[in-house]
Amino acid sequence: MGSSDLASGSPNGPSRVLVVEPHPTLRTVLVQRLRQDGHLTAAVHSAAEAINLCRDEAPDLLVSSEILEKSSALRLAQQLGCQVIVLTARTGVEPVVGLLNEGADDVLRKPFGLEELAARSRTLLKRGRSGLQECVSVGPLEVHLLLRQVTLREKPVELSPREFALLCALLMPPGMVRSRQELLRMAWPPFSGGPRSVDTQVLTLRRKLEQAGLGEGGGITTVRQQGYRFSLDNLPS
């Protein structure tokens, strides 16, 4: 992919996004999704290629796998002088906190949904480093996006990565009915899952939110023949 893929951007034109991902299939689907939002997007498999591609002009946003050959996403972002979304395969809160403390603008845990990546990319490109929305509050429920933590009345609610992604999809915005196919695109990795997977995860998410004290059904209602909705009406006063 030539340098023109990024160099044609302008201050008032489309944003320039560079994807650095060693896995060819994932690299391809990431580029395809980001281009759907109108970004000038290029993709390479190594830090060396990225530096060579960006000799004349840095991208507005780097989307990079955490570990690269002879480099890392954070080191590459520092060299290029741009914002970075780090894609990590590590589990747990500690690696995410560490990456954020070390300078990452955002962190996504693999596997992740393409719509989540697209939304986070739009947020960073629109608001810049200082304006990233870190927390979404709906009634007594708080969802901490960067740390991937959920609290209800300041008490933690333990969710799996898939349940967290599903909750985010239902909360953005709250009250909107989401079909099973929409939820698959937003909360599942590419080419994985199906309608039954959505039903199963919604069931477990409901149980956890209900057990945490969010009311019957955990605030999630089924809309017949349409999908699911996080209903504010179901929240306890």
DSSP notation for 63-115: EEESEETTEEHHHHHHHHTSEEEEEE---SHHHHHHHHHTT-SEEEESS--HH
Residues 6+ apart with CB under 8 A from 98: none
Give the count of beta carbons closer than 10 Å to the beta carbon of residue 140: 17
For the chain, list the domains and their CATH numbers. 4-131 (3.40.50.2300), 135-234 (1.10.10.10)
Out of 72-76, 93-97, 228-232, the most confident range is 72-76
Lowest mean pLDDT among 90-99, 146-155, 165-174, 181-190: 181-190
What is the tens place of the pLDDT at every residue in 145-166?
767 789 999 899 999 888 988 8
**Interval 104-132 mean pLDDT:** 81
Choice among 6-10, 68-72, 102-106, 193-197 with the minimum mean pLDDT:
6-10
* pTM for the model: 0.56
- Sorted by sequence, the CB contacts under 8 Å of residue 181 that are 6+ apart come out as 195
Distance of alpha carbon 88 from alpha carbon 96, whole angstroms: 8
- pLDDT band at 12; cut points 50, 70, 90: very low
